Chain A
């Protein structure tokens, strides 16, 4: 049934959110446990409990038994923690953090229909069980199932009667039911009349009200129960079915159900059980309290609101509990996102729709540029009404563009949070003690960028734990705390997102890096290399700095892959390191993949755009610094390096015969693995933001071209992919070797 399938999908979506807040809460608890003041934030424990509890609830509905079993024990531990029976210790939190990871895996397994890792689950179940056992109350002792029991004397006696005359279920039996509600019953929304109607559906019912003890109106106290009933039911239903009708009132009423041996006999008032009912009713009346379910005064409710809302910053506002103020916080303001703030209202939108909108905005920006040129060429004054109107449209268009980009922008938080787990696993695998500090996780980046950041960040984090940090002994020897710290930070800087992964380890051992690079033939022995160049060797394909391949990060995947992935996102990754102080990897990313910061260049009569992220510098060298190599090759000497020149007009086959042989405007670009080249063009026109239009959909992959854009005058300009240009030029040698050949 498709309705249920949809619910299943929404359940797994919900699980993602729940797992996020679970992870966040567990880490907060863990930090507090380490700091020794867990009592400060019991609300966090509640939130964590709720997350596990909701997962269990949904899992049960979909019959995901592994998930239910695991979540149940997890939840039990958390319940004991919030009840103060299990201590929130560092050790306990270590188990819970891993249990959180396991729960996350179980959700993924359930979603994808994969068999979970039973061994790991079994072990964690045992560890969780040990936590509960350690508190003195084993899980087996916990009250599991509620068994309805009837606690009146009659009930016990009727059990005897059942033994004497067992109900066969054959034919109709007569039951005498004595029902005397306590005052509490009326405070629970239970209604005797409704119960009688339910009984009536089981068979023939006769109801006799005992109004004997109802006082005169002047003495009447509505909170005191005075009515009792004797019911006779002729039914084929079993005793259990009758008891089930009274399921919710067993604790708030005196109840006696008795099978009558003779179906013809009706209980009369003088019968012994009837007397007993009266006898029971008397003390019952004495004990009758005002409704325990009595409506509490309104002030109590307000208090409840306040307590529930204290975790929210606006709790001191009288309307803090109302949804309106929380919603008015709005999703549109990227700066106002303190993590503890009430979650703004959100809607889920199909990404295609947003993309379509972004495309349309792109068209709008282009139209506006074309209009602007048309106005100019029509000779209208810049202060004419038309020009002023256009200025207004320009401002609005850029406002709309920003807002639409903001829709795609999402905080980096989910990615950063995943790294906590990576750190834990990396720490376990290497036996190092590692702490992850995240900074600026509310920084927003385009959704596509975020998705493609996970792999490179995972790799960098593992690399930092594995290669960056020393082991505990090594750290102690250099006077550092035994626990290493890896800081993951994000910030917006001049229109780009800067993400840094830094460790407080030993820094890059440049002597060793050089030795390895020389051994592997990546550089010629004795090459003069700056510290930065040595550091950059880490990004060279085939470089692995550990002498032995480690189980963790040395799986044949090097930092070169990281660099390639970041560059594919239009970003750059750089490295800084100080001996004894640590290493920092810096990733600079564009805010969005829909707009490119580019340099508009012209060669052979063609206008093309080069991504600014690839350009290191632009040169107009004197002819003395340009040397011919071989038959056609040229190189330019720049800062002590010889850099091959690639004529873009030649590369694209657009060079016109008879034009000047040598273009002398050079754009120095750097690509994967530090390969550099100087791209020669005729003119650099402009540096501008261009809207990226994919060509692949319509034309397939074009070598050397990554996409296209539309210029203000309506002309189409292709966007050059420098990576491919360099690759196809066959410049496979790394720059340092060029320097050595000089």
Chain B
């Protein structure tokens, strides 16, 4: 069975790019449009890994991470933060919230795939 990814990003463009990067490598990618949408889709998507943007309306990426971590079923799910911000401060915040790792936009398709594989140990 293919690895399932839940990608949370408010930008349709970014969602498209994530899909275009991962689908050819055999990932099953589901999408959510903001943090709240992402947390709500969690049970239905039942992902192996979550990729989330940071700056989103309604609930930002930090909120997504915290929401995942507090979920009894998905608490230990790997969550990768996808962001253009490469500052130390943001990573510290993401890490504090429980992020597994981060990918800096614009990302390289191959790198995105290899990071996911590494985090999942496949």
- With known contacts A54-B10, A189-B100, A300–B95 Cβ distance under 8 A: no
- With known contacts A145-B86, A189-B98, A191-B121, A47–B57 Cβ distance under 8 A: yes
Nearest CB of A to B46, in Å:
15
Q: How far is the CA of A3 from the CA of B15 in the complex (A)?
A: 13
Enumerate chain A residues within 8 angstroms of B91, measured Cβ to Cβ: 146
* Interface mask (B75-109 → A, CB under 8 Å = 1, otherwise 0): 11111000011111101000111111110111100
* Interface contact B96-A292, CB-CB below 8 Å: yes
* Interface mask (A53-70 → B, CB under 8 Å = 1, otherwise 0): 110111011010000000
B113 sits at the interface (CB 8 A): no
- With known contacts A7-B20, A188-B99, A143–B63 Cβ distance under 8 A: no
Interface size on B, residues (CB 8 A): 56
A35 sits at the interface (CB 8 A): no
* Interface contact B84-A50, CB-CB below 8 Å: no
Q: How far is the CA of A60 from the CA of B99 in the complex (A)?
A: 23
Enumerate chain A residues within 8 angstroms of B79, measured Cβ to Cβ: 189
B14 sits at the interface (CB 8 A): yes
Enumerate chain B residues within 8 angstroms of A49, measured Cβ to Cβ: 55
Residues 586-632 (chain A) with a chain B CB within 8 angstroms: none
Contact of B84 among A60, A142, A143 (CB under 8 A): A60
- With known contacts A143-B88, A321-B58, A247–B69 Cβ distance under 8 A: no
Nearest CB of A to B119, in Å:
6
* Interface contact B95-A188, CB-CB below 8 Å: yes
Contact of B101 among A47, A184, A186, A190 (CB under 8 A): A190
- With known contacts A7-B16, A188-B100, A190-B78, A197–B70 Cβ distance under 8 A: no
Q: How far is the CA of A3 from the CA of B13 in the complex (A)?
A: 11
* Interface contact A308-B16, CB-CB below 8 Å: no
B42 sits at the interface (CB 8 A): no
* Interface mask (A117-147 → B, CB under 8 Å = 1, otherwise 0): 0000000000000000000000000111110
Residue of A6, A146, A188, A322 most packed against chain B (CB within 10 A)? A188
Nearest CB of B to A54, in Å:
5
The number of inter-chain residue pairs (CB within 8 angstroms) is 155
* Interface mask (B40-82 → A, CB under 8 Å = 1, otherwise 0): 1000000000000101111110010011111100011111000
* Interface contact A61-B17, CB-CB below 8 Å: yes
Of chain B, the residue at the smallest CB distance from A9 is: B13
Contact of A54 among B11, B20, B87, B96 (CB under 8 A): B11
* Interface contact B88-A4, CB-CB below 8 Å: no
Interface of A is mostly: helix
Of chain A, the residue at the smallest CB distance from B101 is: A248
Enumerate chain B residues within 8 angstroms of A198, measured Cβ to Cβ: 117-118, 121
B122 sits at the interface (CB 8 A): yes
Q: How far is the CA of A201 from the CA of B67 in the complex (A)?
A: 33
* Interface contact A50-B119, CB-CB below 8 Å: no
A305 sits at the interface (CB 8 A): yes
Contact of A321 among B10, B36, B60, B104 (CB under 8 A): B36
Contact of B95 among A4, A6, A145, A252 (CB under 8 A): A252
Nearest CB of B to A84, in Å:
15
* Interface contact A146-B100, CB-CB below 8 Å: no
Q: How far is the CA of A251 from the CA of B69 in the complex (A)?
A: 19
Q: How far is the CA of A6 from the CA of B13 in the complex (A)?
A: 9
B28 sits at the interface (CB 8 A): no
Nearest CB of A to B23, in Å:
10
Of chain A, the residue at the smallest CB distance from B96 is: A292
Enumerate chain A residues within 8 angstroms of B104, measured Cβ to Cβ: 146
Q: How far is the CA of A196 from the CA of B122 in the complex (A)?
A: 10
Q: How far is the CA of A197 from the CA of B14 in the complex (A)?
A: 30
Enumerate chain B residues within 8 angstroms of A4, measured Cβ to Cβ: 20
* Interface contact A248-B100, CB-CB below 8 Å: yes
B residues with CB within 8 A of A: 10-14, 16-17, 20, 35-37, 40, 53, 55-60, 63, 66-71, 75-79, 84-89, 91, 95-102, 104-107, 117-122
Can you identify 17 A-B contacts, CB atoms within 8 angstroms?
A: A14-B11, A50-B57, A53-B55, A57-B106, A143-B87, A146-B86, A146-B88, A190-B100, A193-B121, A197-B121, A247-B101, A295-B98, A297-B70, A308-B35, A322-B40, A323-B36, A323-B40
Task: Please list the 7 inter-chain residue pairs (A to B) with the smallest Cβ-Cβ separation, ordered nearest first.
Answer: A194-B121, A248-B101, A293-B98, A60-B106, A197-B121, A189-B100, A11-B13
